[in-house]
Amino acid sequence: MPEAGAELVRTARLRVLPGGAAAPAPDAVRVFLMGADALARAGVRSLLADHDGLAVVGDDEPGPRGLAALGTHRPDVLVVHGPREPREVAAILDAVGPELPVLTVGGCEPDARSARGLHGHLPATTTARQLAAAVSLTAAGYAVSRGRRQDADTARPARRSGGTRVSDVPPDTLTDREGQVLDLVSRGLSNIEIAQSLTLSEHTVKTHVQNLLNKLRVRSRVHVAIYAFEAGLR
């Protein structure tokens, strides 16, 4: 028993437990975020979390620790947020090599040297849908840039490594509903957003997306987006 007048003081120690995030789907584009601002990285991560076909597998600040984490996670695309100067981008490009596609978002404009190594630079005003579309196209070998219109709602492909089209299925073989779903998938909308746009259930949208994949003979939503660009539908 405590002495009279004594106070009982409870202490607690905060423990950070390992994350319980589910493993990314086999066909998901694996994304790693790099940037000096931890809060900004968390914001970008949350923006991409709801996009089907994308999985953010890690994030860290630029430097040796970030590069080590990058090597561990082996992403398909590296997104660098808010670089402060072109030489920072150049150092990252030198460290990761040409095999890993790199996109920069916000921060400084790339200089001539870093621009040659990047797959694209997007402004700080880029929306989640624009970024999701840019990441998907980058993973498929495209370099991306903003469209000329200020209200353009996605990135556009500037070039692609290799010349093989993802599908030879003519666009006129698609039904009207398949065309609508294709357009929305290519804009980076998730199944829930497509369902809201077309006033359908999410289950029905999943069925339409799977039917579209089968009809185009492609493996993922990324390829659906690329098909839309290659077919001149976007």
pLDDT of residue 232: 77
| Fold category of 171-230 in CATH | Arc Repressor Mutant, subunit A (1.10.10)
Say what the pLDDT of residue 128 is: 85
What CATH number was assigned to the domain covering residues 29-160? 3.40.50.2300
pLDDT of residue 23: 62
Report which of 31, 170, 45 is spatially closest to residue 102, judged by C-alpha positions.
31
Using CA atoms, how far residue 10 sits from 5, 25, 97, 98, in Å, is: 16, 44, 52, 55
Whether this prediction's pTM lies above 0.75 is answered by: no
pLDDT per residue of the chain (234 residues) written in tens, 0 to 9: 555 555 544 444 444 444 444 566 667 889 999 999 999 999 999 888 878 788 999 999 999 999 999 989 999 999 999 999 999 999 999 999 989 999 999 999 999 888 888 999 999 888 888 888 888 888 888 887 665 444 334 455 555 555 567 888 999 999 999 999 999 988 878 899 899 999 999 999 999 999 999 999 988 887 888 888 788 776
User: Helix, strand, or coil here: 4?
Assistant: coil
According to DSSP, residue 110 is labeled P
- Could you tell me the CA-to-CA distances from 175 to 178, 201, 221, 223, 234 in Å, in that order? 5, 19, 18, 18, 17
- Quote the pLDDT of residue 186: 84
State the Cα–Cα distance between residues 136 and 140, nearest whole angstrom.
7
How is residue 86 annotated by DSSP? Answer: H
Helix, strand, or coil (residue 15): coil
- Specify the amino acid at residue 63: G
Q: What pLDDT does residue 200 have?
A: 94
- How, if at all, do strands 54-60 and 102-105 pair? unpaired
Q: Which residues contact 108 (CB under 8 A, 6 or more apart)?
A: 83, 84, 85, 86, 88, 89
Residue 192 DSSP code: H
Domain ranges across the chain: 29-160, 171-230
pLDDT on residue 108: 92
24 burial class (0-12, 13-18, 19+ CB within 10 angstroms)?
middle
Strands (E), the chain: 29-34, 54-60, 77-81, 102-105, 120-122, 142-146, 155-160
Q: Please tell me the distance from the alpha carbon of residue 64 to that of residue 81, in angstroms, as a whole number.
A: 17
